[in-house]
Amino acid sequence: MSRIAVNLPGLHMKNPVMPASGCFAFGQEYGKLYDLNRLGAICVKAVTVEERRGNPTPRVAETPGGMLNAIGLQNPGLKHVLEHELPWLEKYDTPIVVNIAGYSVEDYMEVAREISKVHNVSAIELNISCPNVKEGGITFGTDAGTAAHLTDKVKSVSDVPVYVKLSPNVTDIVEIATAVEGAGADGLSMINTLLGMRIDLKTGKPILANRTGGLSGAAIKPVAIRMIHDVRQKVDIPIIGMGGIYEVDDILEFMMAGANAVAVGTANFIDPFVCPNLIDQLEDRMDELGIETLSSIVGRSSL
Amino acid sequence: MSRIAVNLPGLHMKNPVMPASGCFAFGQEYGKLYDLNRLGAICVKAVTVEERRGNPTPRVAETPGGMLNAIGLQNPGLKHVLEHELPWLEKYDTPIVVNIAGYSVEDYMEVAREISKVHNVSAIELNISCPNVKEGGITFGTDAGTAAHLTDKVKSVSDVPVYVKLSPNVTDIVEIATAVEGAGADGLSMINTLLGMRIDLKTGKPILANRTGGLSGAAIKPVAIRMIHDVRQKVDIPIIGMGGIYEVDDILEFMMAGANAVAVGTANFIDPFVCPNLIDQLEDRMDELGIETLSSIVGRSSL
Amino acid sequence: MIMDNMTIKNQEEIAPKIYRIEVTGPLTQQMKNPGQFVNLRVSKGIDPTLRRPISICDVDVEKETLTMIYRVEGKGTKLLAEKVVGDEVNILGPLGQGFPVEAAKPNDVCVLIGGGVGIPPLYYLGKQLVAAGAKVITILGFRTDKDIFLEEEFQELGELIITTEDGSKGVKGFVTDALKELKAYDLYYTCGPKPMLKAVEQTASTHGFISLEERMGCGVGACLACVCDLKERDKTTGKAYAKICSDGPVFLSGEVIL
Amino acid sequence: MIMDNMTIKNQEEIAPKIYRIEVTGPLTQQMKNPGQFVNLRVSKGIDPTLRRPISICDVDVEKETLTMIYRVEGKGTKLLAEKVVGDEVNILGPLGQGFPVEAAKPNDVCVLIGGGVGIPPLYYLGKQLVAAGAKVITILGFRTDKDIFLEEEFQELGELIITTEDGSKGVKGFVTDALKELKAYDLYYTCGPKPMLKAVEQTASTHGFISLEERMGCGVGACLACVCDLKERDKTTGKAYAKICSDGPVFLSGEVIL
Ligand SMILES: Cc1cc2nc3c(=O)[nH]c(=O)nc-3n(C[C@H](O)[C@H](O)[C@H](O)COP(=O)(O)OP(=O)(O)OC[C@H]3O[C@@H](n4cnc5c(N)ncnc54)[C@H](O)[C@@H]3O)c2cc1C
Ligand SMILES: Cc1cc2nc3c(=O)[nH]c(=O)nc-3n(C[C@H](O)[C@H](O)[C@H](O)COP(=O)(O)OP(=O)(O)OC[C@H]3O[C@@H](n4cnc5c(N)ncnc54)[C@H](O)[C@@H]3O)c2cc1C
Ligand SMILES: Cc1cc2nc3c(=O)[nH]c(=O)nc-3n(C[C@H](O)[C@H](O)[C@H](O)COP(=O)(O)O)c2cc1C
Ligand SMILES: Cc1cc2nc3c(=O)[nH]c(=O)nc-3n(C[C@H](O)[C@H](O)[C@H](O)COP(=O)(O)O)c2cc1C
Ligand code: FES
Ligand code: FES
């Protein structure tokens, strides 16, 4: 096995890097810029049963070292994704992770059931942490019992491994992580965005039409590292780490904190080639730091 | 009254700017650089009953757009503060806010009782949100009932108004804010630091000896704005806003979000003259934006 | 290639807070469609985080120069204005779907209607329309006479009508006040603030092409930050929305809800 | 004045990753005490956030120049190394309590012991000691001969002993291997990595002055990031700790727990 390959349930990744959900649509845009087979995996935008229009614009606002978004899970709906988006991805042989969301447990179950049957879907990412929708989303992610119940239900209908995407907007993320592990989650994705807001001084109103949005980018990296480190002490399932990864060192920092693979979100907007570039730099940087294989450094910070 | 003066319980401030607790010690260092009477108020370092040694070093680490600290409430203890630090501040006629902390309710009460008797202390800031100590600190700030109980007890012994300093590391800050308001808090201070971590890639270990620390600086500003905005909808007591204030526009953004006054922390480390500089720029900027008086913009974002 | 560092050859303030910047590099070879834009990175670090979308104002494919005109609004454009000749700027582009020059037949009368920093992309368009044999009438709206830029350049393309809100030059009022007075034209192309676009769409007697603005994340169609609603679902994709960065910024009049 | 923009007059790489930078400005008038440091701001924005502490290596009060020598370690020093002549750097300083020159009486033999980037502050100190009539012996430790810098400069001050870990030049081993061999001296001054300082304190036959490093927040004594424990409580303040930025960075040997 290559020094940078990583193996997670359902995900045999030639390198640890995937784009983060919502920052890469269904792959077609970045697929015009480079060969998506270079990625360790591809994580696509949240899918819901019905088509969603999302929030009114403006949907993004810049912040120091980061950005807010309030897309509101806009997506063409399960049927369209099954018929158009996933088939387009068939030409790639890199694992596909589908992020799923819903208003109710039944919604989630329906999407999971259908999506997990698709032969080129390797895993589901259960989004219980979207801060930008009124119902569903984050409400499932802030209470351990609710999160565990949803995980259990989705697991019962999914043919592929389920990664639960955790919200950082909680008092005790370890409690939620252990609860979903107990409910059968195959892995965790962390972190989703932090709730934030910005005000336009000229109007006195929030810049985002949705008022609040999710904070992503470099600014949140230390929060992500801390949460992954804390969760790593208490759970055994793999973690896909994300939140402010821009540079090759960030990948290593996330893995030392306890991540088994990583996802890159906001950085794609700054440099559309960031994923393949980071992958290219990885081995050189490992050499400089004397790291043999990536799997050897996972969770090193808590040794 | 001047256009930039603000009035809060116990704090008649000629301008809305005070240094944030822990970033200004007891004033003596910055007092060598400029006249502290220019400040709207002075908020001093956390005081505990006994002297505290704090955490081992390194105690700070830099992060993108911010920094982590794990000072661990090091302070010379109540007696020393009463005998040496507060008397030194007597030469100023700007309001003094004393941040207090403890291991137990009794600790907090003792410090509050003694400190609030000092004639040049205008208010107490009840620190229930320090993320860098094992006992006390943040544990009081993450549960609404505990926070309210402590507030009530401290109020019962304090001769001066009590501002409760909230932790952002919670699922529902509005719940905590309303609980402490119900328990008699005269005001709120928000936000304290977000829990974060950084790892040194060469050693694989956390940079901070304490492993985790509190994230402050520009990076956290959107989180602070969001929390103040949310809390402003539900509480009537004044809010001292803080978290990433570096520029004059930030002051206005915090006030539009719902803060009645502001505190500047990390920015002092970048520019030791930042507080008087921001105060100097305030009226010009208000003119540019057509703002008559500061009090008129408080909470404008939710109108 | 879609991203490259380009070198600044020229930068000057041509009106208060309005800068013309000229950069050079092989990326210009692909910039043939007016109305497309580029997404600029104004600093190397994380501050600011996002790229800034700026329209292509003119391209000299032989000399490999790209001209842009921008107004200093906030942090990003301020940093851009501080850059000097010889500095590099990272540019992602050309992006989006521009104005269809081929929609105008030879001798068609085309009206270009621009307001503020919506004016720049119309210049490259006007040049191409003239080259294709169309007749160009331009209406440019400004707040006051001091704000006027690109006046001579547009004059060379055909008739130019300037409107100012305070009447300090040209027609007093808005671009639509001038548009109303125009007799016969075959189609229009417009770019400017949304209220202006709405007014133009209502006032014009023909169909036309409208260029929109929106806050962007990725600029390439991947984040869904910049959507607008379509009046009718797109027949091929079945989608009820369009992405301004990749499906636009230019749309047919009546196609999107303004 | 304690903060000012200073202009870069010179910057060169004098050994691998080791840069000498010379800046100019009136702030130098206050930089009379060797062993003090300045806190540099390497960029205007928020990235990086904190200032970087760098020791004063030499000052020419008449010409108003400050010389510093630094190693490129991470982001901040990398950005500093990218700056060119004419650029400005914002400097806060001089900060802290430096080496007491007056502790050496005329004709006293003073040993200066430096390792790596702990060497620079010893140069300004050595010059002042010589000027005050003391005799200076310098021991400088490097990893290998390629890393050596300031050799000629120290040679001009008196005897210079170089140690290299790999023996490629001078004494093979550490500074303490050279210190052990020294016969008689009256006091020492040292700056370098903590393990070296510990070893020097144990090896030296006299008392001396030790300059410490720690990660800093404010650099002026206000944030308590940079404390070290005192062996005994300070008699005046009653405190059990000292702040390296304002009470130090220089301490008397035996005063702090290393
Ligand atoms: C397709 C397109 C073409 C454009 N062409 C031009 C042009 O040729 N000349 C010109 O002067 N301006 C143009 N703009 C507007 C220009 O992008 C903004 O003025 C600029 O991004 C403001 O950045 P800032 O850092 O100065 O302001 P800030 O307020 O600091 O920007 C903060 C954030 O908001 C975004 N933002 C702010 N205003 C706008 C806006 N009006 N549109 C989109 N994003 C915005 C910024 O990109 C950034 O992400 C265009 C916008 C779009 C979408
Ligand atoms: C009083 C004092 C004097 C110094 N004098 C010199 C000198 O003359 N020449 C020289 O090359 N170096 C000196 N140093 C060390 C120098 O400050 C660090 O090498 C530098 O801050 C590293 O910054 P960076 O951005 O390159 O590294 P990064 O790792 O990116 O820095 C991240 C953060 O850690 C801090 N940091 C990292 N290493 C150190 C360190 N060793 N000491 C203190 N803070 C650190 C940085 O200041 C910054 O806040 C001195 C340190 C102190 C405390
Ligand atoms: C524009 C945008 C859209 C996003 N959409 C989703 C989404 O649909 N589902 C999801 O689980 N996370 C979504 N996220 C969160 C990211 O997947 C990621 O968790 C977060 O942005 C932190 O990573 P980053 O700092 O690298 O961006 C979105 C983030 C952004 C910026
Ligand atoms: C070095 C440091 C020490 C701090 N010490 C305290 C403290 O003793 N008590 C407290 O309530 N907050 C303390 N804080 C938190 C600040 O008061 C403030 O809430 C936080 O830093 C956010 O503001 P900023 O981003 O402007 O720094 C400290 C912050 C820093 C950076
Ligand atoms: S800006 Fe990302 S889809 Fe248009
Ligand atoms: S760095 Fe702040 S007290 Fe020393």
CATH (domain of D48) = 2.40.30.10
With 90 as the cut, is the pLDDT of residue A6 above it?
yes
C202 with C226, same domain: the answer is no
Give CA C182 to chain center in angstroms. Answer: 22
CA–CA dist A301, B17 (Å, integer):
39
Q: Exposed (0-12), middle (13-18) or buried (19+): which is A236, by Cβ within 10 Å?
A: exposed
* Residue A62 at interface with chain C, using a CB cutoff of 8 Å: yes
Nearest to D31 by CA among D100, D108, D170, D124: D124
In A109-231 the beta strands, taken as DSSP E runs, fall at 123-127, 162-165, 187-190, 194-197, 199-200, 205-206, 212-216
pLDDT score at B133:
67
ipTM of this model?
0.97
Q: From the CA of A22, which ligand is nearest?
A: 3
Using the 8-state DSSP alphabet, how is residue A53 labeled?
Answer: -
Confidence of residue A129 (pLDDT cuts 50, 70, 90): confident
Q: Give contacts of C47 with chain B, Cβ < 8 Å.
A: 65
Give me the percent of chain A exceeding a pLDDT of 70: 97
CA–CA dist C243, A20 (Å, integer):
20
* Residue C84 at interface with chain D, using a CB cutoff of 8 Å: no
Q: Which residue has the higher pLDDT, B138 or C72?
A: C72
Is C217 a pocket residue for ligand 5 (Cβ < 6 Å)? yes
Beta strands B199-200 and B205-206, pairing class: antiparallel
Task: Report the CATH number that the domain containing residue C193 is assigned in CATH.
Answer: 3.40.50.80
Nearest to A57 by CA among D219, B191, C244: C244
Using the 8-state DSSP alphabet, how is residue B84 labeled?
Answer: I
Cβ within 8 Å of A, D 41-70: 46-47
Q: Give contacts of B84 with chain D, Cβ < 8 Å.
A: 237
C-beta separation of B255 from B269 below 8 A? no
Is B192 a pocket residue for ligand 4 (Cβ < 6 Å)? yes
Interchain proximity C49–A65, CB inside 8 Å: yes
CA–CA dist B26, B284 (Å, integer):
30
In this complex, which chains have at least 3 CB pairs below 8 Å with chain B? Answer: A, C, D
In this complex, which chains have at least 3 CB pairs below 8 Å with chain C? Answer: A, B, D
pLDDT tens per residue across span D164-216? 999 999 999 999 999 999 989 999 999 999 999 999 999 999 999 999 999 99
CA–CA dist A123, A165 (Å, integer):
12
Size of interface B-D (CB pairs under 8 A): 103
D111 with D198, same domain: the answer is yes
Q: Which atom of ligand 1 is nearest to the CA of C73?
A: 26
Among the candidates C76, C95, C114, a domain finishes at C95
Q: Is B132 annotated as a binding residue?
A: no
D126 with D220, same domain: the answer is no
Q: How many helices (H) and strands (E) does chain A have?
A: 10, 16
Beta strands A66-69 and A60-63, pairing class: antiparallel
Q: Is C54 annotated as a binding residue?
A: yes
A21 CA → ligand 3 middle, Å: 5
CA–CA dist A1, B46 (Å, integer):
53
pLDDT tens per residue across span B216-235? 999 999 999 999 999 999 99
Determine the distance in angstroms separating the CA of D237 from the nearest CA of chain A, rounded to an integer: 36
Q: What is the mean pLDDT of residues C82-95?
A: 96
C-beta separation of D147 from D18 below 8 A? yes
C107 with C199, same domain: the answer is yes
Half-sphere exposure in the Cβ direction for C160 (13 Å, CA): 20
Cβ within 8 Å of D, C 41-70: 43, 45-47
Total domains present in chain D = 3
Among the candidates C68, C95, C122, a domain finishes at C95
Using the 8-state DSSP alphabet, how is residue A82 labeled?
Answer: I
Domain span holding position C88 = 2-95
Q: Is B102 annotated as a binding residue?
A: no
pLDDT tens per residue across span B164-213? 999 999 999 999 999 999 999 999 999 999 999 999 999 999 999 999 99
Q: What is the mean pLDDT of residues A158-175?
A: 97
Predicted model pTM = 0.97
C26 with C88, same domain: the answer is yes
C47 with C91, same domain: the answer is yes
Q: Give contacts of C92 with chain A, Cβ < 8 Å.
A: 272
D27 with D73, same domain: the answer is yes
C105 with C198, same domain: the answer is yes
Using the 8-state DSSP alphabet, how is residue B125 labeled?
Answer: E
Q: In this structure, which amino acid lies at residue A49?
A: V
pLDDT score at A130:
75
Q: What is the mean pLDDT of residues C110-128?
A: 97
Confidence of residue B137 (pLDDT cuts 50, 70, 90): low
D105 with D206, same domain: the answer is yes
CA–CA dist B225, B250 (Å, integer):
10
Tokens, residue D32? 């009379």
Which residue on chain A is closest to B68 by alpha carbon? A222
pLDDT tens per residue across span A220-245? 999 999 999 999 999 999 999 999 99
C-beta separation of D135 from D113 below 8 A? no
Give me the percent of chain C exceeding a pLDDT of 70: 100
With 70 as the cut, is the pLDDT of residue C9 above it?
yes
* Residue D84 at interface with chain C, using a CB cutoff of 8 Å: no
Q: Which atom of ligand 6 is nearest to the CA of B25?
A: 3
Q: Give contacts of D50 with chain A, Cβ < 8 Å.
A: none
| Arithmetic mean of pLDDT over chain B | 95
D121 with D199, same domain: the answer is yes
D105 with D187, same domain: the answer is yes
Among the candidates C30, C62, C95, a domain finishes at C95
pLDDT score at A133:
67
Give the pocket of ligand 2 (CB within 6 Å).
B 62; D 37, 50, 52-55, 68-71, 73-77, 117, 120, 213-216, 249
C121 with C143, same domain: the answer is yes
Task: Report the CATH number that the domain containing residue D241 is assigned in CATH.
Answer: 2.10.240.10
Q: Which atom of ligand 2 is nearest to the CA of D57?
A: 8
A130 is a catalytic site residue: yes
Q: What is the mean pLDDT of residues C87-115?
A: 96
With 90 as the cut, is the pLDDT of residue A136 above it?
no
